Each structure stands twice: as C-alpha cells, then as structure tokens.
Structure 1
Amino acid sequence: MQVRRAAVLGGGPGGLYAARLLKLAQPSCDVVVHEQGEPDKTFGFGVGLAAGTQRRLEAADADTLRDILAAGHRHDMTMTVGDRSVRVRNDRLIGIARTELLAVLRRHAEKAGVRIEYGARRAADELDADIVIAADGVSSATRSTGGFGEDIEVGRGLYLWCGAEFALPDAMFAPVGTEHGVFVTHAYPYSGGRSTFLIETDEETWRRAGFDRSTDATPPDASDTTSLRYLEQVFAAQLRGHSLIGNRTRWTRFRTVRCKRWSSGRVVLLGDAAHTAHFSIGSGTKLAMEDAIGLVEALAGEPDAPAAFARYEASRRPDVERMQELARRSQLWWESFPSRLHFPVERLMVAYMTRAGNVPLDRFAATSPDVVAAAAEQYANSKPPARDLVEWVLEQPLRHERAEFPRRVLPAVPDGLALTTFADVVADPWDDAGDAVVARARQARREGADGFRFTGPGDRPAVLTRLDLAERVRTEAGGLVIVDGPPSSRGDLAAGLVSGRCDLVSFSEEAA
C-alpha cells in the first residue's frame, strides 16, 4: 500500500519508531507525529530492553539501535532476601533513560523526514490522513471512543514508579518486611547514573501504611511524597544513602488492556493502546516497537489499509497474547510473592525464573549453573549432576512425615495415604475460587487428610496453573502435595519441585 499521508497519535517510543520506519519504507509519505505534551516535559525513569528485542530492532533499523545501545547501561540481575543474595548474569540486558530513548527516537525520526508537532491534543477524526496510527498509550482516548472491543482487567496489587540519583551495580529484586507488611522493589540502573525503583505491595499492607489516604490526597500532576519518604526508610540499605525521586509518582494498579480488534476504518492501534503486559515480564516499550516493525511491514505488503491492518494484527497478536499470558502468570506470582519468603534465596530465584513457564529449568541451569546447583542441593540435600538435571530432580527420594518415597514421581497412591483430589477448578489460584480450594483443603486436613492431589487437563497452561494452585495450598494448608501432568511436562514439574510448588508429581501416563 502506498500511503500518501500518515498521522501518528502519541510521541512515545512506539509512535516515534513507527513514524521513522514508515518514512524510511515510503519516503514520499507525509508522516506527522502529534504529541500533546512538550518534548522537555517527558516523565518516567528507565526503560529495559532485553536481548530478543535488540535483535529485532537491529534487523529493522540498525542505526537507531546503535544509538540506543550507546546511551544504555548494561547490567546483570541480583535477588536479595535478608542478608542473602544471589546473582544471575544477563549481559545483553540494558537500561536506558526514557528521556534519552525518546531523544534518540525523535532525532532519528526527524532525520528520516518525519514532522513532530507538540502541545496539542488531537483526535483521529480531525486528522487529514490516509491512516491514523494511534500510539496514545494505556489510557488511549482513541481506543475508548469505541470500535475496538476493549477489555481492561485491573490487578490486585499496588505499585509505584520512582527513581534514585545513583546507578545500582545490577538490577535488583529485594523484599523488605515492615510493621505494616512486605514491600518489594524491582530496581535497575540506567544511563545518566540513575536507577529506577519500582515498588509494589498488597492492598492490606498499603492500607495499613496509610497509603490509601496519601494517594487520595495527591493531585494527578504531583507525587505522593508521604509514600516516598516512608519507602526511603524501608529501602535505606538498597538506596545507600540516596533519596527516592518522584515524577508524578503515585500508587496504582496495573491495567491489562486487551482489544477484540486493533483497527477500525483508517485507524489502527499500536503498543499500549492495543494491549499491555505486566511490567514484571512484559515491556510496553518492547511490544510497541515490535508492533511498529510489524505494522510497517504489513503496509508494504498489502494493497490497502484494511488488508494491511488485518495482516499486522494476524502477525502480531499471537506474540502479544503469548506475552500477555506469560505476564499474567508473572503478575500473579509477584502479587503473592511474600508467601515465599521462607525459601532460601537460591530456590526463590529458581521460582522467579520459572514462574511463567518461559524459562525451562534446564536452560536456566545452563546459563546460571551455580544458582541452580545451590537450589537443587537445598531441595534434595545432595549435590546435583552437571547434566540431566530434570531427571535427577525427579529421581530424588522424599521423606514426608510418616511416609517415604523412593523418587518424586508417584506411580500409584500408597495404601494408607489419605489424599483429597482437586481437579482443575481455577484460572487464578489467588481469586475467590482459589480461596475456596484453600478453605476446602484446610477442612480436609482437620478431618485427617494427609495431603492433596491436583489433576486436570494435560495442556501446558493447565499444568502451570495447577502448580500455582498446589503451591498456594501447600503453603496455606500444609500436607503432602502431588501435581499430575503428562510426560511432556517433566521440565515444568521438575521446576515445580525445586521451587517448592509441590512435593511429588505423577504422570498421566508413566514415561518409559
């Protein structure tokens, strides 16, 4: 499709990158970006870009990526619980200041011939353009006008973004207990000698600390200084004498955006306007810039806007929905994070890396052998081999109260072991349905049950959800916990054992 005039709503990373790529692909196209804010009033802290995203950006536009990498800050990752820390190498992960990223993208967009207009709020129906690319963010006014079938799911936990004027040596995950409850920071360094501090907690802790009141008292364009001063004390060790910096910083709940359609007429949604994925695994910047690549490729390969938009959505939706599902699992894990603080930090790191099912245990062991070896030894009280870790995990013996098992794979329930069986009954192990399962499990324990067996369909999402539900019951009701799955799920089940999600596993059909 030859586009004569294209309008882009939103001057964030996705909008600027789409504008540049479109102008490079179609030099005769008049591409204008409309950004309601001013370029010197951008808010936000650091943005992270992982290795996979960098590869896609390099293939699409190596010049822009080169400048992003030059402005970025590489770092590894550390988890600290109490006085114990564990470190994982991730030498292609970079953090970059959002302001610097936008400056790079703006410079390259203008170099390609894109015009950028600031300071006015524009709507799609008032723009004279063949296509309108709506990259106007999670609160997209374009999406909310209708035609896209939007659905917004609000998370249970609360979080806020802030920063500090020093660069951490690594990305850091650190929970800290207070008189009100547990707060967790996800912090990482970025360019300019600064660090992002994302801090989250559960609603009960948030209310006990009085942050419901401080949130209500904070104007939309201000920062919640009451929370910032409190959190400086909570994370004093991690801040190393520095203060927290606010920038429209306030507690909020994550909103997962989904749309039945990503286009309507000549308007197409891009990035957070079309979809979001929880920050603990997804990146709005990553998804938006990859959307831009897909959209421009679709426009070049189809004769008209409807066909191009359909191709764009068909090519991008599977990746986005996969990321949203991974992010959903990660979000649920983080919202229930304080329940795991009794584990050694090495096992907790394995639980973190395998929480969403996208990092298999054996792959994590290949990249971080020392961490996984320590976690496996804590799990089994013996040193694991250098190879065949999954099979070794499954073959370890278990003594649980009055029962002994020669291996962690249970071919049949032994005589005299009283188990209550739960078939798959939940989508979210921490919602009301999950609460009901825990209540039933507690009652069963009072009535003499030795433990619980979790069964259900053999598809991978069902197995992963079963592991999460089993973990919650194991933590809150106690008893022996067994999770069923097909032989193809051996890796996930082994990760569940090392992570403390279950005690034993059983195969739907015993593997040879």
Structure 2
Amino acid sequence: MSASLSRIAIVGAGPGGLLLASLIAQSIPQAEVTVFERNRKEDVFGFGVVFSDATLRKIDEADSTLRSALTEAGTHWDRIEVWSKGERHGFSGNGMSAIHRKALLRRLQQSAESAGADVRYATAAPPLHELRASYDLVVGADGTNSTTRQQLEAQAPLGHSIETATAKFIWFATTHLFDGLTFIHRVTGPGNFAAHAYPISDELSTFIVETDEDTFARADLDTFDVSQPPGPSDEYTQHYLEWVFRDDLQGAELVGNNSRWGNFRTRRTENWGRDNVVLLGDAVHTAHFSVGSGTKMAMEDAIELAAQLTAVSKSEKDVDIALSDYVANARIPVNKVQTAAVPSLSWWEHFGLYQRSLAPTTFAFHFFSRSIGIDKIAQRDPQLATEVRDDWQRRHGTSAVDTPIEIAGVDLAGRMLEMTVTAGVATLHDRHGASAITPCIEVSADAVAADVDDLMDLLPSDGAVVIDGPPILARQLLAEQARLTRGLTVVLAGDDVANPVAAETMILAGRADATAVENGDDQ
C-alpha cells in the first residue's frame, strides 16, 4: 500500500469516528479528512454513555474533549446499588461518569470540525469500491450494522461471528434522577423485570430494562412492529414499564428515543480490515452494555489508530505495518472487555432465577461478585464485605469456609474440601479425616453456557453432587441450577475455586455450598 495519507475517509460520525477525525486532523494537518454520516447532525439515537474513571484517564491523555464534556454536562458517582425485595445494597469504590449521548456528540462534532475535518451529515458514504479508489485509507466506524464491514465481507470473509443473547432489553430514559448506577428488580404476574438506571444530565437518567423471553411473551410485549424504520418507540411497552417501576420512578415518566425491544448481539471479528480499509468500534466488536463498554472501546480504537497513522505521517512506519499494529494493540483491551462481559451477560440471562431464589443480601453480593472476588470487593468497600460476612455469621454462627456441612449423611468440618474421584463418584474429605461419597459430574472442556440445560439431565434427583471440569462459567451455571432449581447440596470443584478467597466468594454468593480440589490421588 502507498505510504501516502493525503486523503482519509471515515464512514460514521459516532464517538469513535468523530474522535478519530479530530485526532488525525490535529496530528496530520496536511491530510484531507472526510467523514460521511448518513443521519442528520441533530439526529441522536439512544441516551447515556458511561465511562469508568480508569477509562477517562486513558482517553483524556489523548484528547480532552470527553473530560471537558463530562465536566460541563456530565454526572459522576462512586456507588452502585441493587434494589430487590424492598432492600437496597450498595458497592462503593466504583468511580464512573455518564453523559447524554447528544451532549457528547455535540462536543465531538465541534472538535472535529474545528480541527479541520470535513464532516458531511445526511450524506451516505459512496460504495466501498469508489471510496477505495478515491481515498488512501477508508475507516469503517459505522456501528454494529456497518455497511463498510458488510461490503468487505461480500468480497471475502472477515471471520465475523455473532452471539445473540436470549434476554430481551429496551432502552429508555426517565425524568426521575437517580443518584448513581442503580439496578432495580421487580416481579410482576408475568415474571421478572430489571432496570439499569443512572443519571446522564440534570434532567434525565438512562433507564434500560431487561427481561427473559417467557416473561416478555406472557406480558404481551411483542405487539410492536419492529420492521418499521428507525424512529418510533414502543409506546405500549413504555406505559407498561412505567406501571411496573412506578414506585421506583416516583411517578416520573419514561422517555422514548427509537426505544424498541431487542436481543443483545456480541460481535467478534478476526480480520479488522483489508488492503486500505480498516474497521473500528461496534463495526468489529461489541460487549454487553452491563459492562458499559461500547463507546469506550470505539474511542480507544480511535486513539490507537490515530497514533499509528501519525507514525506513518512522520515516516516512522509503513501504512500496512501501522494498520497491523493498530489491530494487534487495540485487540488487547477489546479482548479483555469481551472476556469480562461474558459472566456479566450470563448473569443477566439468569437474573430472574437469582432474584427469586436468593435473599436480598446474598442476591446483591451474587451480582457484585460475578467477576470479582471478595478480597477485591473488601479493598474497594470494606463495609460491603463486612455486611455480607456478618449476614452469613448471623445465620450460621461461624465464617463461610468454616461452617460445617452435611453431605450424604456425614457431617464434614468446613466447606473447603479435598476429594478423590473414581468412575463418576467423588469421595470428599474434610480437614479432620471425615469422608462422604457423592456423585460427580464432569463438565467437558468445550462446554458453554448453552449446554447447561442438557447437563441438568445428569444431576441426581436429590442429595448432593460434585461438579467439576475446566470451563468455569458452564461449571458455575450448572452448580447454580442444581442448587437453586433442584435444591441439591452442591460442591464446586476445581483448582480455581479451591483457594480461600474463591471458596468464600462462591459460598457467600450462593453459587455453591462448598468447594473441593482433587488431592492428587484420583484414579
């Protein structure tokens, strides 16, 4: 590819595309940067965007626009709360900021235009073959339904995959102002609903609602015609959810903006471009909104790509090498976020079971600990860790790992056990030499969350069971299903749950009754 970067086209004027345009126009002033945006300048779909304090520091090092926007029009909080069954439990030490997407886009638009980028609103990008012929580089920043990616894939596969979640979600705002990130759980006749709510200005809070497919159908929420072009919102659902969450909203209304039910789709792409075309943001990767990552990842992609292109302009790199380095470097934090999003998405796929089955303190800790141990929680919020431990102590008289447990008629001292396994039968040993025998189910190495329903057929009808195997998520899900739907006493086995921190976290969260590790004498 030519080393020239005199003409660069960016398809899409979302946060990633606009930040990239601004950075390139500032660092490569000789380059002609053109942004094509099919929507009007004033069109904004969606409501709030969220950033952790750590993310803000990284983005602010490259460009101060986001920090300035948050200072002028954003909100900040440190505490996450879970509301369920009339109780509220919080987790402090989680610094986050949010801003209305409209306010962020306005400032990014101004920044890109002031830097000299030519941002063409209400202008669909020309076909990809024309762009490639006219520009030295084409960047597809046109979102999850990227036409740039689709045109590339029509020529040859990019290794693009989609995983569709079963839970349904819909995105509203509300005129009720929440104090910070708040997760609200309500149970109706049809089933469970949960809201993700957080303030995005001094007038609005984002209000995302999730539910399972069965509840969605029983509540007759499938009447809206989703084949309509973007724009109209599902007003039937809006009024129904205002009723479901009426006490939490304190009489405030929900606000729609292209608000429609959907199923979240996780996108992964092996190849992020081809020749003089490269992709960023949602066009190549997505991670569940419960980890607040879409805009963050797009902006971080833009920062990395701009840095690589700046190196080309200084004759420090060839374009091909720069694009290869961009993908390699940007993929690292993306993979980290997508990995962290897997247990979070899984949690939201099953939240109704957890809410119905667990006491409020345990339920809240189950949520907070879905990707973090109690040691890290105690560092951020010692009061929460003490609250959870004291709750167990009041009910059992001793700490979680030291509480005796009965398995197969045998009283075992403590809940961190050793075991030997022979032909699907586990012999569990406590620290005093007592032993109990129980069935052991081995979860295969390639098992995923979707396989858990089939594995349920292997569970005993009553008593206790040991669940072992390499895949931690599938193993945990099977343990939870066995414990919460079958009423079994569950021992979760594996080296990754055998240390005191992991064992205590699993037990306090209600994911298992005990943990075990093979003592090396297995057959």
TM superposition score normalised by structure 2: 0.88
For the residues of structure 2 that align with 1:275 and 1:149, how far apart are their CA atoms?
Answer: 12
1:41 aligns with 2:56: no
> In structure 2, the residue corresponding to 1:173 is in which secondary structure?
strand
State the shift of 1:70 in Å: 2.7
DSSP 3-state at the match of 1:221: coil
* Whole-angstrom distance in 2 between the partners of 1:5 and 1:508: 62
Q: Is the 8 A contact 2:48 2:100 kept in 1?
A: yes
> For residues 255 and 66 of structure 1, what CA distance do their matches in structure 2 show?
32
Q: CA deviation at 1:186?
A: 0.6
Number of residue equivalences? 492
Amino acid at match of 1:137: G
1:368 aligns with 2:378: no
Q: Give, in angstroms, the shift of residue 430 of structure 1.
A: 4.6
Alignment pair present for 1:440 and 2:444: no
Q: Do 1:422 and 1:454's aligned partners in 2 also have CA atoms closer than 8 Å? A: yes
Contact 1:155 1:254 in 2 (8 A): yes
Farther off after superposition, 54-63 or 64-73: 64-73
Once residues 117 and 263 of structure 1 are traced to their aligned partners in structure 2, the CA distance between those partners, rounded to angstroms, is: 23
1:394 equivalenced with 2:401 (yes/no): yes
Structure 1 residues 48 and 368: CA distance shift in structure 2, 3 A: same
Query: Which residue, out of 252, 255, 276, partners 2:286?
Result: 276
SS in structure 2 at match of 1:280: helix
Distance in 1 between the 2:191 and 2:448 partners?
Answer: 21
The aligned residue for residue 408 of structure 1 is 415
Paired with 2:188 and 2:196, the residues of 1 have a C-alpha distance of: 17
| Change in CA separation of 1:403 and 1:236 when aligned onto 2, cut-off 3 Å | farther
Alignment partner, residue 425 of structure 2: none
Change (3 A) 1:231 1:343: same
Amino acid at match of 2:290: S
For residues 327 and 498 of structure 2, the distance between their equivalents in structure 1, rounded to whole angstroms, comes to: 31
Is 1:472 matched with 2:490? Answer: no
In structure 1, runs of 5+ residues without a counterpart are 386-391
Q: How does 1:131-170 map to 2 (within 5 A)?
A: 131-145=137-151, 146=153, 147=156, 148-170=158-180
CA contact (8 A) 1:133 1:270 kept: yes
Task: Select the residue among 481, 484, 492 that pairs with 1:483.
Answer: 492
User: CA shift at 1:320, angstroms?
Assistant: 1.1
Name the residue aligned to 1:389.
none
Letter in 2 for 1:168: F
Cα deviation, 1:33-62, whole Å, max 9, x if unaligned, reads 111101112121111111121011121123
Please state how far the C-alpha of 1:314 moved relative to its aligned partner.
0.8
Structure 1 contact 423–456 (Cα < 8 Å) conserved: yes
Counterpart-to-counterpart distance in 1, 2:65 and 2:214: 48
- 1:383 deviation in Å? 10
**The residue matched to 2:291 in structure 1 has which SS?**
coil
Question: What secondary structure is seen at the aligned counterpart in 2 of 1:275?
Answer: coil
| Cα deviation, residue 496, structure 1 | 1.3
Determine if contact 1:47/1:96 at 8 Å carries over to the other structure: yes
8 Å CA contact 2:418, 2:518 repeated in 1: no
Counterpart residue number, 1:330: 344
Q: By how many angstroms is 1:501 displaced?
A: 0.6
CA distance in 1, matches of 2:161, 2:352: 29
Aligned counterparts of 1:239 and 1:222: Cα–Cα separation in 2: 23
The percentage of counterpart residues that share the same residue type is 31
- Which 5+ residue runs of structure 2 have no aligned equivalent? 420-427
Counterpart contact for 1:19–1:114, Cα < 8 Å: yes
Asked if the contact 1:215/1:251 (under 8 Å) is kept, the reply is no
Seen in structure 2, the aligned counterparts of structure 1 residues 500 and 310 have a Cα distance that, compared at 3 Å, is same
- Matched residue SS, 1:27: coil
Partner in structure 2 of residue 225 of structure 1 = 235
Q: Distance in 1 between matches of 2:397 and 2:333?
A: 35
Equivalent residue of 2:222, what SS?
Answer: helix
User: Which residue identity lines up with residue 369 of structure 2 in the other structure?
Assistant: T
Output the CA distance in 2 between the equivalents of 1:139 and 1:423: 40
Worse-matched range after superposition: 189-198 or 417-426? 417-426
1:307 has 2:326 as partner: no
Superposed CA offset, 1:82-102 (max 9, x none): 210012224631110000010
Report the residue type matching 2:405 in the other structure: L
Distance 2:376 2:146 in 1: 38
Letter in 1 for 2:325: R
Tell me which amino acid in the other structure corresponds to 1:484: A
Q: 2:194 aligned with 1:184, yes or no?
A: yes
Q: Say which of 438, 463, 477 aligns to 2:472.
A: 463
RMSD over aligned Cα, in angstroms? 2.3
User: Residues 267-314 of structure 1: CA distance to partner in whole angstroms, max 9, x if unpaired?
Assistant: 111000010001111421010001111111222345333211111111
- Asked whether the equivalents of residues 222 and 247 of structure 1 are also in contact (C-alpha less than 8 Å), the reply is yes
